[in-house]
Amino acid sequence: MFSIIKKDKKTKARLGILTTPHGIVKTPAYVFVGTYGKFRHLEAKDIKRTGTQLVIANTFHLWGKTDDLRLTTDNKKTFLTKSFGLKIPTMTDSGGFQVLSLAFDDKNKVGKFTPLEVAPPRSEGLATALRARLLTGFMTGDTKLDKNFKRTKIRITSKGVHFKYNDKNLFLGPELSMKLQKKIGADIIFAFDHITSPLDDYEYNKKAVELTDRWASRCLKLHLPLASRDGGTRGTTKGRQQTISALGRQQLFGIVQGGLFKDLRIKSAKSIGAMPFDGFGIGGSYTKKQIAKILKWVIPYLPEEKPRHLLGVGKVADVFEAIENGIDTFDCVIPTREARHGRLYTKTSHLDIRKGKYTNDKKVIEKGCGCLTCVSGISRQQIRKSLKDQPSHLVNEICNCRRQSLTRCEGQRWCLMHNMWFFNNFLNEIRASLVRGSYQRYKKSFLKKFGI
RNA sequence: GGGGAUAUGGUGAAGCGGUUAUCACAGCUCUCUGUGGCAGAGCGAUCACGAGUUCGAAUCUCGUUAUCCCCC
């Protein structure tokens, strides 16, 4: 259930409350990515302490790891509750993103964000440069696009996607994704969609939109009867139905695609937006500066009263763009991945804690920060040392033969707690500014301090 | 005094006639957007110095210097 509390006068931003079986989420909210149903190095109480409201795990990567599950009829004890170790609102991605992220071999890698105008020089740049050039040509309307890059590791049919992954052949489609997502038991699940790369041409994107539509209908077909039958009450039917019905208040979000093309985006938004989803995700790949533009195309065609989630976007600047264009939630790996890599966010940009200049720095990451790391007085020096002392090759060996829980790194824990707290605090402040009606002022002063 | 060994980026090591001089750590710079878990990319050495042999030397020879070891 989603209710809008207040709309901003000058932008399309809105304040809302998203209610899920595992709690409420004040929106706009940052969603942290715990792909495998956990945040490495963090315990349940650590996650709580960061002020995190909503987390997202990944169906593809959890696939096959849920077999030892014993689902109960208790709504509150889903796989994810157990896995994260706490009661917290959750989402799962459908596995649709892996249609992009696992599609290419290493030599042929295509990211979701591509800086089109850059032609990479130097080593191995040729193929990429060629692509970029061809695409630039395409964008100006002439050149025929790029036949160079191929999805060598997946094959897409109308039924779903064949993956070659870790020497295994796997097939994932809308039906199986829904089944897995029911089993995993997140509060909010996503329809299985077809994301395209920024290098795909109009025709390819057109087909992807059509496929995404068809898959969306099929996901809905599997979801709707259950959702309406159970209506959020505890299930009373027997056997497997009982299991499913206990999770019946799961909400299903459809996903808008359409790549970089305005008419396709609108077409997708219209058709997905007209389907009886509980909310909507906006997916796809982008060029660096295009997110806002795409949101402006899409949002008007989505039902005002339903929640909107922007998939996989969440750098600081993007947060503002998303919110003021009417996005309620968005997930991104940035805070957690960069924390692991030692980039720590502050009000005045960030610091890369592994750098030599922090070797003897006794200060906390940021004075006045309320995260557990800073409040406990953990110094930059300590964090750096812990990160640097970790012999990563050794860790890898341990990872390969033992459980990964053994590899906890205190330094990474400190970094994760800081970044997650930072982004949650950031969103708290944005929400507060929306309450006060001073969003624009807040944004301006934040960005000025932050230096972008 | 006699004998031996070693000198390769900041550190530790490979290479022993033809390499864009390799590797690890450290350093610096950059990147990370629905996570292919613990990262990736780039920049730093004219191989102690001088002379010689050779088409070609970090690599062979001689000398100089420095460090270490052994013997008296």
> What is the nearest nucleotide to A409, using C1' and CA?
B38
pLDDT of residue A116: 57
Cβ contacts of residue A104 below 8 Å, gap of 6+? A110, A149, A150, A151, A152, A153
Cα radius of gyration (chain A): 22
Question: pLDDT of chain A along its 452 residues, tens only?
Answer: 999 999 999 999 999 999 999 999 999 999 999 999 999 999 999 999 999 999 999 999 999 887 655 554 455 578 999 999 999 999 999 999 999 999 988 777 788 887 654 332 222 333 344 444 444 333 322 223 344 578 889 999 999 999 999 889 999 999 999 999 999 999 999 999 999 998 888 999 999 999 999 999 999 999 976 665 444 443 333 434 433 333 448 999 999 999 999 999 999 999 999 999 999 999 998 887 789 999 999 999 999 999 999 999 999 999 999 999 999 999 999 999 999 999 999 999 999 999 999 999 999 999 999 999 999 999 999 999 999 887 544 444 433 333 333 467 899 999 999 999 999 999 999 999 999 999 999 999 999 999 98
| Measured CA A337 to C1' B15 distance, in angstroms | 39
Amino acid found at A210? E
Comparing CA positions, the residue from A34, A28, A30 lying closest to residue A11 is A28
Asked if the Cβ of residue A174 lies within 7 A of any atom of strand B, the reply is: no
| Structure tokens that stand for A331 in this block | 């997930």
- What is the number of residues in chain A? 452
What pLDDT is stored for residue A247 in this prediction?
40
The whole-number pLDDT of residue A413 equals: 95
For A300, phi then psi, to 5°, come to -60, -20
ipTM: 0.85
> What's the CA A239/C1' B23 distance, rounded, in angstroms?
60
Looking at residue A190, what DSSP letter applies? E
For the whole prediction, is pTM greater than 0.80? Answer: yes
Asked if residue A34 keeps its beta carbon closer than 7 A to nucleic acid strand B, the reply is yes
Give the integer Cα–Cα distance in Å for A213 and A31.
25
Please list the active-site residues of A: 93, 331
What pLDDT is attached to residue A75? 57
Question: A310 Cβ partners below 8 Å, 6+ apart?
Answer: A281, A282, A291, A295, A322, A327, A329, A330
Nucleotides of B under 7 A from a protein CB: 25-39, 41-42
- Whether CB of A93 is under 7 Å from strand B: the answer is yes
